Structure 1
Amino acid sequence: MQLPQSGYKIKEISPETTYEVRRPVLRPGRPPAECFFEGDNDPDTFHLGLYKENELIGVASFMKTASKSFLFKDQFQLRGMAVLPFYKGKGYGAALLKEGEIRIKKITKEPFLWFNARDYAVGFYEKFGYQTFGEKFDIPGVCPHIIMYKHL
């Protein structure tokens, strides 16, 4: 896993803080209300922000949400992972993903992570051992997605 060498910090943030990156990356030109995801405020959800020199450049949310497609008891869903365009390809997304995996492993006995990946991001997640499941599907107004998963 390629991680940036230094100069960044990952910490827990509020759901509202994620909107600073979710909106321009995942919902450009859309109203701020579309940046809220069901489960954002659940007590088992945690949100990570990646800061480079005090600038929020990446976010990821991890929600204790079960998919009917999998039988694992302790499932988490990754939602709203995004890195500002200027910083893509520099290992910051990998750092967010790894930190989320570490935290999930600490709080559950059978850690399992799944998510709906944008079709163009599948290659990124495959590099970290995630597998696709089922067929592509369209999220209206967003883009095609496919379910991905990994038993941590």
Structure 2
Amino acid sequence: MNYTINQITSTETYLVRQPVLRSGKPIESCIFDGDDLNTTFHLGIYSENKLVGVCSFFKNNQPLITETFQYQLRGMAVLNEYQGLGLGQLILTYGENLLKKRNIQTIWCNAREKAIEFYKKTGYHIIGEPFLIKDIGLHYIMNKIL
């Protein structure tokens, strides 16, 4: 299968964010603070011109991390029927490489409990204590030095 990765708009991310991350919730729940800042960028992975996965990168500091130049990964999602094919790792690695070119030192995310193993396999580590995000579930702060 041939996949391509492109930079996309925040609005385009909703096509994957909603069914995967906000299922049953209104489309407005897919809008994240900072989505349209000029320091934020969004990536989409396509299978034969169909958007099947997304992730967004926000210039945002996590107080538990000491590195000065940080970015937060948010809205990482791959459509259910495309999960398990390595697409999440492809798009995440692509984004990490873009951050390295910008001299970003570390990337972090608020990982859902069910995504912990995915992030561990890609080099992320849990920091701090688990916490609950209302209406979404248990999360862990995870980071990776780039």
Q: Which residue of 1 aligns with 2:131?
A: 137
The answer on 1:42 being equivalent to 2:24 is: no
Contact kept? 2:39, 2:59, Cα under 8 Å: yes
The answer on 1:122 being equivalent to 2:116 is: yes
Compute the TM-score of the two structures, normalised by the length of structure 2: 0.98
Counterparts of 1:106 and 1:82, CA distance in 2: 23
Contact kept? 2:39, 2:58, Cα under 8 Å: yes
Q: Which residue of 1 aligns with 2:21?
A: 26
RMSD: 0.8
Counterparts of 1:18 and 1:57, CA distance in 2: 10
Per-residue deviation, residues 77-130 of structure 1 (Å, max 9, x unmatched): 00000000000000000001100100000012x421000000111111101111
Counterparts of 2:128 and 2:65, CA distance in 1: 12
1:12-91 paired onto structure 2 within 5 Å = 12-91=7-86
Q: Which residue of 1 aligns with 2:140?
A: 146
Which SS does the other structure have where 2:127 is aligned? strand
Unaligned runs of 5+ in 1: 1-5
Which amino acid in 2 is paired with 1:151? I
Counterparts of 1:49 and 1:21, CA distance in 2: 9
Counterparts of 1:117 and 1:100, CA distance in 2: 17
Per-residue deviation, residues 14-42 of structure 1 (Å, max 9, x unmatched): 00000000000000111111000111111
Compute the TM-score of the two structures, normalised by the length of structure 1: 0.94
> Structure 1 vs Structure 2: percent identity of aligned residues?
47
Counterparts of 1:111 and 1:10, CA distance in 2: 23
Which amino acid in 1 is paired with 2:113? D
Runs of at least 4 residues of structure 1 off by over 6 A?
none
Unaligned runs of 5+ in 2: none
Aligned residues: 146
